[in-house]
Amino acid sequence: MNPQVDNSVVTTTVTLISALVLLAAVLFMGASLIGVIGDIPLDDGSRKQAAILERIKPVSQVSFEQPKPVVAVQLSGKEVYDKVCAACHVAGTLGAPKVGDKAAWEPRLAQGMDTLVNHALNGIRAMPAKGGDPSLTEGNMKDAIVYMLGESGIKVEAAPAEATTPAPTAAAPTPPPAPAESN
Exposure string of 166-180, with b = 16+ CB inside 10 Å and e = fewer, is: eeeeeeeebeebeee
Q: What is the amino acid identity at position 58?
A: P
What class, spelled out in words, does domain 77-151 have in CATH?
Answer: mainly alpha
Q: Would you say residue 73 has pLDDT above 60?
A: yes
Note whether 77 and 141 are within 8 A (CB): no
Q: Answer yes or no: are the C-beta atoms of 130 and 88 closer than 8 Å.
A: no
Share of the chain above pLDDT 70, in %: 78
- DSSP string spanning 161-183? PPS---S----PPPPPPPPPP--
**Which pTM was predicted?**
0.49
The mean pLDDT value of the chain amounts to: 80
According to the model, what pLDDT value does residue 29 have?
A: 92
Mean pLDDT of 87-101: 86
pLDDT tens-digit readout, 31-61: 888 877 766 666 777 788 888 888 898 888 8
pLDDT at 161: 46
- Give yes or no for residue 81 having a pLDDT over 90: no
Angle at the Cα of 139 (from 153 to 180), degrees rounded to 5?
15
- Residues 82-93 have pLDDT tens digits of 888 888 888 888
What would the pLDDT profile of 150-179 be if each residue is shown by its tens digit?
888 888 776 544 444 444 444 445 555 555
What pLDDT, on a 0 to 100 scale, did the predictor assign at position 27? 95
The DSSP string of 112-158 is: -HHHHHHHHHH-BTTBPGGGG-TT--HHHHHHHHHHHHHHTT-----
